[in-house]
Amino acid sequence: MFSEGFSGRRGRDPRLPPGQYDVGDSFPVLTAEATPNVTQETWSFRVDGEVESPTTWDWAGVHALPGSAYEGDIHCVTTWSKLGTSFSGVSLDVLLDQVGVRSSATHVLAWASSGYTTDLPLADVTGGKAWLVWEHEGRPLSTEHGGPVRMLVPHLYFWKSTKWVAGLRLLDHDEPGFWERNGYHERGEPWAEQRYAGD
């Protein structure tokens, strides 16, 4: 599903990776799966796999953790970028510290309530690079953008920022997710234009 907003300023702002354009104030929607019926009351997030203490947080539990925010840019593989935007939530580092990541872990597989999955190297979700977020620009994250909670991995193309995120499984190997099995690049780094397999 595509929303309005897939057009914008095509200048060469230095914040724009190659092949991207600035959508300005709009925030396009692209969804590969049906929108699940998830509320703050029913949402939960689980971290398991190559960890010492698999753990599940509910809405109150995740909000009890130290908060964190991201201010910067996001980039979609469909070539739009949103510059100077902000999200609030909790750094994934906080959750991973609580579960105790085993030395065998090299990758993560994120999954959504919709059944969507995506894979990432562990290094791409640690060290202050990834968040669970529930606010966008000071307002609750809307359902169409993955609310009540989505993952945010802003240094990679936005398909890696799982909407309606429900969990993260740490693995000792790579396990391709939905788009990675369907021709997209394994990592998706915008400045290298890693859009599709072979890029």
CATH of the domain at 176: 3.90.420.10
Q: Is residue 8 part of a domain?
A: no
- Report pTM: 0.92
pLDDT of 9 over the 60 cut: no
Two tokens, residue 109: 């597989």
Q: Judge contact between 108 and 168, C-beta under 8 A.
A: yes
Closest CA to 106 of 188, 176, 170, 49: 170
Q: Is residue 128 part of a domain?
A: yes
Measured CA to CA, the distance from residue 131 to residue 139 in angstroms comes to 16
Q: Is residue 183 part of a domain?
A: yes
Domains in the chain, number: 1
Burial code of 15-35, b = ≥16 C-beta within 10 A, e = fewer? ebeeebbbbeeebbbebeeee
Q: Is residue 75 part of a domain?
A: yes
Among 1-5, 23-27, 91-95, the minimum mean pLDDT is found in: 1-5
DSSP track, 22-58: E-TT----B-SSPPP---TTT-EEEEEESBSS-EEEE
Q: Is residue 108 part of a domain?
A: yes
Domain range spanning residue 63? Answer: 21-192
State which H helix or E strand residue 177 sits in.
none
Measured CA to CA, the distance from residue 75 to residue 87 in angstroms comes to 14
Segment 50-72 mean pLDDT: 98
Measured CA to CA, the distance from residue 153 to residue 177 in angstroms comes to 15
pLDDT of 186 over the 90 cut: yes
pLDDT of 10 over the 80 cut: no
Q: Judge contact between 99 and 54, C-beta under 8 A.
A: yes
> How many Cα atoms within 13 Å fall on the side-chain side of residue 25?
0
Q: Is residue 112 part of a domain?
A: yes
Residue 1 has a pLDDT of: 43
Residue 30 has a pLDDT of: 80
Q: Over the chain, what is the mean pLDDT? A: 93
Segment 72-96 mean pLDDT: 97
Q: Is residue 1 part of a domain?
A: no
**What percentage of the chain exceeds 90 in pLDDT?**
89
Q: Is residue 9 part of a domain?
A: no
Measured CA to CA, the distance from residue 148 to residue 73 in angstroms comes to 21
Which residues are CB-contacts of 90 (< 8 A; sequence separation ≥ 6)?
A: 62, 65, 66, 67, 68, 131, 132
Residue 34 has a pLDDT of: 82
